[in-house]
Amino acid sequence: KHINLQENQLQTLPADVFNLLTELKTLGLNRNALTTLPPG
């Protein structure tokens, strides 16, 4: 239900990265190099 991806130097995420995570409640993406997020 919770995923912490903070401080992983992520620059991009695939468009389908969250498709199977139907129970996801919180997502931590702080301190990454992301400029956009896929829709969804």
| pLDDT tens-digit map of 9-19 | 999 999 898 89
Q: What gap in Å lies between CA 22 and CA 7, rounded to an integer?
A: 24
Hey, what are 12's tokens? 């991009």
> CA-to-CA distance for 14 and 19, rounded, in angstroms?
10
pLDDT of residue 40: 67
pTM, entire model: 0.74
Residue 34 confidence (pLDDT) above 70: yes
